[in-house]
Copies of this chain bind each other. A is one copy, B any other.
Amino acid sequence: MRVRAREMGIEIGSMKPGRYNAITDVRGVAVGHSTIIEGEGPLIVGEGPVRAGVTAILPRQAGIYEEKVRAAAYPYNAYGKAVGLLQVMHMGVIETPILLTDTLNTWRVADALIDYMYEVLGVEATSINPVVGETNGSYLNDSVGRHVGKEHVYEALDEAFSPSGTGPVEEGNVGGGTPMSGFEFKGGIGTSSRVTPEFTLGVLVQVNFGRREDLRIDGVPVGKELADVKPRKAQKSGSVIVVVATDLALSSRQLWKVARRAILGVARTGSYGSVHSGDFVIAFSTSEKDVEPLAEGGEDRKQSSSKKHGLDESYLNLVYRATVEATEEAVINALFKAETMIGRDYNTRVAIPLDRVREIMSRYGRL
């Protein structure tokens, strides 16, 4: 049976996860998936086999366009097709759900998101900036066939907008993560969160990166130990999309700094940021509070009489830590929850063998 990292006893970092240990621990954030698994055998472009889907992340369930959330985007290695990020970087807000999918479906998924904004959400505007992230699932999927249609986008969004959207998040071979790989095992969607008295921060990742021998779980070289079950066909390239949500009132400048930290969490699992990767981070704050004045220029602005000299954004250090920890754990969760999948042309990605992981972690003094 597939378990999450924490269920195996692996506790990444020192901070506490939230109720679901998911991005939905951030109040108001919702997630929905649409998963397409159809056909088997040789690839016939346009017919299948299909291993694809869409994952929808809502910064809020109500008034997404009208009450935009403060946001930032960070392209770490921009060999990728993500849509909408330049405007996010410039304006500092997100005004639509965030969708994740398989590379070549990116633009039709963006177009269907526009449909949804008008048809379902009733937005009135002549300008909407859809945000869509992607990784390349063509090892298992008929990617060129572009099988993700408007109906799948609507399904993922409908689920996210439903009451269950704010609950636990399904991981592994679901939604945009359906055909993805991780460290030459099966990858996909993973999530995790961290909670403090002051804030909650959640992360959702779409994992499609990594070479087997580089995999580290909480610092343990699990990948090297599992080199014996390495597939003959190496994972050629690979990308990761990270979405970070928090309820802390951060400015877009601060969210940009937070987004940059997510990559540190990815690094700890064994990423070198490969040449062919499209690694992007999107971070947003659900807070409707005005940004604290110390967000720009530090505590000094408030306490000039105290003649303090530093720029006191020190409280961000804990936010950075939460981001790194939750990202690292979300990546591991994606691997742990993904199940073996056979795709087009019988290409196969096996699930990481959890029994052996348990044994290795134990041998290295971690369990």
Task: Check if A311 sits within 8 Å of B104, measured CB to CB.
Answer: no
**Copies of this subunit:** 4
Partner of A309, one of B66, B92, B138, B267: B66
Task: Check if B311 sits within 8 Å of A68, measured CB to CB.
Answer: yes
Is residue A350 within 8 Å, beta carbon to beta carbon, of the partner chain?
no
A-B contact pairs, 20 of them (CB 8 A): A68-B300, A70-B296, A77-B90, A80-B86, A81-B84, A81-B87, A92-B296, A103-B126, A104-B114, A104-B127, A107-B107, A107-B111, A108-B108, A126-B144, A219-B220, A251-B296, A275-B313, A291-B291, A291-B296, A363-B365
Q: Which residues of A contact B (CB under 8 A)?
A: 14, 63, 65-70, 75-87, 89-93, 103-104, 107-108, 110-111, 114, 118, 123-130, 136, 138, 143-144, 146, 213, 216, 218-221, 251-253, 257, 260-261, 263-264, 267-268, 271-276, 278, 288, 290-291, 293, 296-298, 300-301, 304, 307-311, 313-314, 316-317, 320-321, 324, 363-365
In the assembled complex, how far is the CB of residue A14 from the closest CB belonging to chain B, in whole angstroms? 7
In the assembled complex, how far is the CB of residue A170 from the closest CB belonging to chain B, in whole angstroms? 26
CA distance A278 to B77 in the complex (A): 22
Task: Check if B309 sits within 8 Å of A65, measured CB to CB.
Answer: yes
Task: Check if A298 sits within 8 Å of B93, measured CB to CB.
Answer: yes
Partner of A307, one of B66, B126, B128: B66
Residue of B nearest to A67 (CB): B304
Across-interface contacts of A144 in B (CB, < 8 A): 118, 126
Q: Which 4 A/B pairs are nearest by Cβ-Cβ distance?
A: A219-B219, A78-B90, A126-B138, A264-B267
